Amino acid sequence: MSYRPTLSRTWWLKNNAFKAYMLREATVLPLMFFLLCLSAGIYSLGQGESQWQHWHAFMALPPVLAINGLALLASLFHAWTFFELFPRVMPIRIAGKALPPTLLIAGQWLGVFMIFLLFGYLFGGAQ
């Protein structure tokens, strides 16, 4: 028989690192809503103009916009925590010297910014 400690439901509230971890894990909730909306949009696109217009009207509802805005913030928070950990987990070496963590983090944020610019360019003028 082995010892198995019992944890209360609020075990994670006792340490700031655990709180940050739980917040990071909770980012999946608004992202799941976004993915369900996206999947419904793809499905409705294949069902014809009427279904597509219905989905489009649903996506314009203020609560849906708010949750999708929260999903954007959640994904940026998730990216930030990943980018901060990346140099510690996978240090990149060039000619035997490790790149500075700030350079790696800045490079990742530059990649995010470039993707935002690309999407803005591709879809910004489609009005």
Query: Residue 71, exposed/middle/buried by CB under 10 A (0-12, 13-18, 19+)?
Result: buried
Nearby residues of 27 by Cβ (< 8 Å), 6 or more positions away: 74, 75, 77, 78
Domains of the chain and any CATH numbers:
12-124 (1.20.1300.10)
Query: What is the pTM for the complete model shown?
Result: 0.76
Coil/strand/helix, residue 97: strand
**Model pLDDT for residues 48-87, shown as the tens digit of each residue:** 999 999 999 999 999 999 999 999 999 999 999 999 999 9
